[in-house]
């Protein structure tokens, strides 16, 4: 019998889904993605379900991303999981951006990588005191995926570029400020949320808008607490100035030239942080966001899947996972080691379609919404 990686129950016409790998910070395995997709499709077609809420098991995480160790081991063993994982994950992410019923993501905990993929399509993203949000892929020689070329590229100013190229973690106030969360609930309210939703006295209507209004009413009543100012707001002028640079070397030069006292320490720390990342994937990520800004979500996901294929060939991804997760020596040997050695041709090659003359695995991605 398959392990119950996804737990779900229906109460008061609301489906409550729990990601159930707390010891792994609810990181997504391939089986977990398949089980989640199946549950969501069933609830979409179930007339007794008018809304869906998803959360993570345990006290620490909503979802810390994909199961990178399993992907690494698959690549080393020569089996197909490392390819199947992304081909299976991306349609799930696409589905959630157009889910036919109110879909609520309770992201009170660590939410990174794949966790962003299954929460950013939510109609209501609820942050809490434990929220730790990031897209840290460049630290392991990868790029922000799961539709990040779509949702990060559409953030105001240069916020998306800053979050993608540094991989910094942000908390609830910054998540709301950046537009990556919709509402904040304090810990006591998070604990009450499920029981409050389960106690709604709405009539048995099938109109999603009625349930959406009722759910919003519960959440607004539970909120009632103002967050402190977002730290990102204080450094926003510097972010927009420096991270609008045309290239990563230009960005680093701009940061190194920062002289304003209120931004000087941040600029120095940011330079040091960026210099630990994969040079190739920094350049690829910057180009990715530029391209994604004018593309549809489906086009972005197709582009990202092509990049995944090239990442396994280029090598920094596997080396980054080895250094940061497997051996934990924190000393990846990037190829090349320095950003000045990354040429435009090598970056352009990463965006070449690896399925020329063949059908793209996500060619019919838009058909994933057939459950409507």
Closest by alpha carbon to 135, among 165, 104, 112? Answer: 112
Which residues neighbour 7 within 8 Å (Cβ) at sequence distance 6 or greater? 17, 18, 20, 57
The residue from 56, 109, 113, 114 that is catalytic is 114
Catalytic site residue 137? Answer: yes
Question: Which tokens go with 63?
Answer: 């979802």
The residue from 89, 93, 108, 137 that is catalytic is 137
Give the single-character DSSP code of 154.
Answer: T
What does the CA dihedral 215, 216, 219, 221 come to, rounded to 10 degrees? -110
- Per DSSP, what are the bridge partners of residue 63? 111
Question: Do the Cβ atoms of 166 and 205 come closer than 8 Å?
Answer: no
Give the single-character DSSP code of 137.
Answer: G
- The whole-angstrom separation of Cα 120 and Cα 117 is 6
Question: Which tokens go with 127?
Answer: 């942050």
The residue from 67, 93, 108, 145 that is catalytic is 145
Catalytic site residue 115? Answer: no
- Per DSSP, what are the bridge partners of residue 11? 14
Closest by alpha carbon to 190, among 47, 62, 73, 332? Answer: 62
Question: Which tokens go with 49?
Answer: 């379900």
Catalytic site residue 114? Answer: yes
Catalytic site residue 194? Answer: no
Give the orientation angle of helix 231-242 with respect to helix 261-274, to 10 degrees: 70
Question: Do the Cβ atoms of 17 and 8 come closer than 8 Å?
Answer: yes
How far lies 276's CA from each of 165, 258, 273, 318, in Å? 11, 20, 5, 16
Return the H-helix or E-strand segment holding 258: none
- Per DSSP, what are the bridge partners of residue 103? 52
The residue from 56, 65, 66, 141 that is catalytic is 66
How far lies 159's CA from each of 65, 153, 242, in Å? 21, 9, 11
Catalytic residues: 66, 114, 137, 145
């Amino acid at each position: 019998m398959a392990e119950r990686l996804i737990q779900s129950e229906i109460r008061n016409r609301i489906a409550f889904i729990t990601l159930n790998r707390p010891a792994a910070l609810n990181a997504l395995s391939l089986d977990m993605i398949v089980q989640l997709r199946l549950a969501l499709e069933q609830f979409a077609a179930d007339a007794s379900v008018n809304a869906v809420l998803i959360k993570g098991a345990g006290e620490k995480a909503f979802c810390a991303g994909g199961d990178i160790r399993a992907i690494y081991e698959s690549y080393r063993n020569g089996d197909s999981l490392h390819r199947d994982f992304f081909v299976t994950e991306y349609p799930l992410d696409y589905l959630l951006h157009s889910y036919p019923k109110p879909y609520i993501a309770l992201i009170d905990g660590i939410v990174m990588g794949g966790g962003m993929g299954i929460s950013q399509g939510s109609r209501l993203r609820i942050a809490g005191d434990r929220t730790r949000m990031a897209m840290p892929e460049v630290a392991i020689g990868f790029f922000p995926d799961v539709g990040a070329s779509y949702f990060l590229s559409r953030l105001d100013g240069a916020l998306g570029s800053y979050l993608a190229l540094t991989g910094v973690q942000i908390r609830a106030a910054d998540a709301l400020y950046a537009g990556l969360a919709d509402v904040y609930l304090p810990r006591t309210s998070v604990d009450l949320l499920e029981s409050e939703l389960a106690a709604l006295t709405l009539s048995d209507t099938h109109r999603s808008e009625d349930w959406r209004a009722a759910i919003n009413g519960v959440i607004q009543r539970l909120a009632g607490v103002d967050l402190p100012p977002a730290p990102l707001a204080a450094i926003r002028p510097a972010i927009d100035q420096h991270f609008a640079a045309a290239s990563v070397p230009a960005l680093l030069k701009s940061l190194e030239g920062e002289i304003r006292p209120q931004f000087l320490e941040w600029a120095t720390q940011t330079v040091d942080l960026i210099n630990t990342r994969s040079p190739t994937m920094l350049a690829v990520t910057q180009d990715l966001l530029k391209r994604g800004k004018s593309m549809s979500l489906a086009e972005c996901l197709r582009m990202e899947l092509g990049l995944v294929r090239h990442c396994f060939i280029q090598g920094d991804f596997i080396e980054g996972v080895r250094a940061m997760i497997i051996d934990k020596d924190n000393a990846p040997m990037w190829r090349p080691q320095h950003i000045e050695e990354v040429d435009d041709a090598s970056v352009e090659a990463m965006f070449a379609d690896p399925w020329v003359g063949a059908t793209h695995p996500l060619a019919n991605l838009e058909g994933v919404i057939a459950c409507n």
